[in-house]
A and B are shown apart, each in its own frame.
Chain A
Amino acid sequence: MRSSFTSMFWGILLVLIDIRIGIDLLPDPVGYFLISYGVYILLEAFPIGKKAYVTGIALGFLSIPSIVIDQNSLDDMTQPWGLYGFILHVFHLVLVFYLFQLMLAIAQTKQDDELIANTNSTMKFYLFTLLVFYISMPFAINFYGPWIDVYTLITTIAAFIVEIAFLVMLHRFRKLDDDFTRVDSEQ
């Protein structure tokens, strides 16, 4: 359990943080393959992780161009690479959803009610916030004005908080031991 979630933790960190000097020194594809590796370790015990695994691998390949594209192009949704960047973000949301599904399944075998409740609420918080964000973001290409700056500020902060919450959850799962009773699978 520990090595799985350590892998996922660092994988997510690599994806979220980009240090660009010519190229992205913390490449996103590496991050995604790390996440998939972490899931892979648990696949036998938790087949529900298959979707997360596949999505992670797909994102690993899909995000390869992001190593060399500069941040400005990725952020500008009116340009082709901006649309690509946005698609990556949406796919990433799907991946995190599947990771949460896996984490819920693990929490259920631990029969730890508090953990289950926390994972559930973090999941809802994450999903809701980013769905609202991504549905509203395309509207920004059609407007100009001071409230666009306010919107950008609020959504950037919200996205940041949400990612931190997810990382904290991953870190909690790292601390779980492998001593669990497998629940009869009903997936």
Chain B
Amino acid sequence: MRERFLWIGISLIVLSTAGNYLFFQSKQLDEPIFLKHYYSQELESQDQEGNIEWTFHYLTNKQNPKTVQSTEVDGITGYPAQDQGITFWEEGEPQINFEQEYNHHYLVPVTIEIPAEQIPMDNDSWSFESMHVTFSDQTDMNTKIGKIGLIDEAVSEDVFESSSASSSNDGEVITTLNVSKPIDVEEISVPFSDEIGDEMAINIGEVNGKKHDISEEGVFPISFQEGESLRIQSQFSPNSSIYVDVEMGIKGETEDGDLFTRGFYVNDQPYFTQKEILDIIAEKAGDTE
């Protein structure tokens, strides 16, 4: 009689094993998913000799994860930077250097280097939205990557004396500039504003004075006097799912009518929960149908 109990137990084991295997298989990705990145920076003249680096992030299966061997954009090949942080070795094979771990996937960063001299700066700028990726196991894919751009160094009147920047864990970046001449700020330029504008709120003002939300009508021009401290606060939405590292610009006119432009960097890294990862995967599956 008790033997039947054993065999019922064994059948439950078989059921559990089969069910869990099916579920596991259904969660495996056919190919990695690259997240959206919005990067923009100035290409300074001294950079022409070195490399430009961008860090991209992708989701890959925990079972047989893929590592990037090379990328290609516009005929230019990029390779992962050599010192990618700590690499763990286990049983003679390099372990994946992941940023976050989920039930079935890893979120992996890869820093790609491109020789600056190979970049074709047409009209003083270059940008791309997708790239071709080859993995170490010789599989490859074309993927949208967001928008990556380079612009030529801007030359302008120097109207700021010193500056400082700080950022916090909850997506807030503060840039402070000390004004050395009276100026009228006429614009804050935001690269890729169509794509990233929704994820951030920007306001500008004198450090101890009124803050102006730049998305409001009639905010500009804003005047600053010599000696005042201009403060720009950029606040990213906590649910943002994009990587941002852009150089924004303050543009305006001095008292004497000279135009000035000054760049300042703003960046934000998203954090994904398990559920958000599943949403991203489902969305991607919807795209390819």
Name which residue of chain B comes closest to A120, CB basis: B2
A78 to B28, CA, bound (A): 12
Taking CB atoms and an 8 Å cut-off, the chain A residues in 73-117 that contact chain B are 78, 83, 86, 90, 93-94, 97, 101
The yes or no answer to B132 lying at the interface (CB within 8 A) is no
Is the contact region of chain A dominated by helix, strand, or loop, or is it mixed?
helix
The yes or no answer to B142 lying at the interface (CB within 8 A) is no
Contact assessment for B27 and A142 in the assembled complex, using a CB-CB cutoff below 8 Å: yes
14 contacts between A and B (CB under 8 A): A70-B91, A72-B91, A78-B24, A90-B10, A90-B13, A93-B6, A93-B10, A97-B6, A101-B3, A131-B12, A136-B16, A137-B16, A141-B21, A144-B62
Taking CB atoms and an 8 Å cut-off, the chain B residues in 24-67 that contact chain A are 24, 27, 62-63
Contact assessment for B13 and A144 in the assembled complex, using a CB-CB cutoff below 8 Å: no
The smallest C-beta distance from B67 to any residue of chain A, in angstroms, reads 19
Name 11 extra pairs, CB < 8 A, besides A93-B6, A138-B16, A139-B20: A90-B13, A97-B3, A101-B3, A127-B6, A135-B12, A137-B16, A141-B21, A142-B20, A142-B104, A143-B103, A144-B103
B residues with a Cβ closer than 8 A to A are 3, 5-6, 9-10, 12-13, 16-17, 19-21, 23-24, 27, 62-63, 91, 101-104
CB neighbours (8 Å) of B12 from chain A are 131, 135
Name which residue of chain B comes closest to A79, CB basis: B63
CB < 8 Å: which of A78, A93, A94 contacts B63?
A78
The yes or no answer to A10 lying at the interface (CB within 8 A) is no
Contact assessment for A94 and B6 in the assembled complex, using a CB-CB cutoff below 8 Å: yes
Contact assessment for A131 and B13 in the assembled complex, using a CB-CB cutoff below 8 Å: yes
A135 to B12, CA, bound (A): 6
What 6 pairs across the A-B complex have the smallest Cβ distances? A138-B20, A131-B9, A138-B17, A138-B16, A134-B13, A144-B103
- Which residue, A78, A90, A143, A144, has most C-beta atoms of chain B within 10 A? A78
A93 to B10, CA, bound (A): 9
Contact assessment for A139 and B103 in the assembled complex, using a CB-CB cutoff below 8 Å: no
A117 to B179, CA, bound (A): 90
A83 to B16, CA, bound (A): 13
Given contacts A90-B10, A131-B13, A134-B13, whether A141 and B102 have CB atoms under 8 Å apart is no
Contact assessment for B9 and A135 in the assembled complex, using a CB-CB cutoff below 8 Å: yes
A101 to B4, CA, bound (A): 13
CB neighbours (8 Å) of B63 from chain A are 78
CB neighbours (8 Å) of B13 from chain A are 90, 131, 134-135
Name which residue of chain B comes closest to A138, CB basis: B20
CB neighbours (8 Å) of A144 from chain B are 62, 101-104
Name which residue of chain A comes closest to B105, CB basis: A144
A139 to B22, CA, bound (A): 11
- Which residue, B3, B16, B20, has most C-beta atoms of chain A within 10 A? B20
A143 to B3, CA, bound (A): 32
The smallest C-beta distance from A173 to any residue of chain B, in angstroms, reads 19
CB < 8 Å: which of B5, B16, B21 contacts A135?
B16
Contact assessment for B20 and A141 in the assembled complex, using a CB-CB cutoff below 8 Å: yes
The smallest C-beta distance from B277 to any residue of chain A, in angstroms, reads 11
Taking CB atoms and an 8 Å cut-off, the chain A residues in 131-153 that contact chain B are 131, 134-139, 141-144
The smallest C-beta distance from B93 to any residue of chain A, in angstroms, reads 11
- Which residue, B16, B91, B102, has most C-beta atoms of chain A within 10 A? B16
Contact assessment for B24 and A141 in the assembled complex, using a CB-CB cutoff below 8 Å: yes
CB neighbours (8 Å) of A72 from chain B are 91
The smallest C-beta distance from A123 to any residue of chain B, in angstroms, reads 8
Contact assessment for B23 and A142 in the assembled complex, using a CB-CB cutoff below 8 Å: yes
A182 to B12, CA, bound (A): 37
CB neighbours (8 Å) of A137 from chain B are 16
A70 to B92, CA, bound (A): 13
Contact assessment for A142 and B103 in the assembled complex, using a CB-CB cutoff below 8 Å: yes
Given contacts A72-B91, A135-B16, whether A142 and B24 have CB atoms under 8 Å apart is yes
CB neighbours (8 Å) of A86 from chain B are 17
A143 to B23, CA, bound (A): 11
A79 to B180, CA, bound (A): 66
A86 to B21, CA, bound (A): 13
CB neighbours (8 Å) of B16 from chain A are 134-139
Name which residue of chain B comes closest to A144, CB basis: B103
Name which residue of chain B comes closest to A133, CB basis: B13
CB neighbours (8 Å) of A136 from chain B are 16
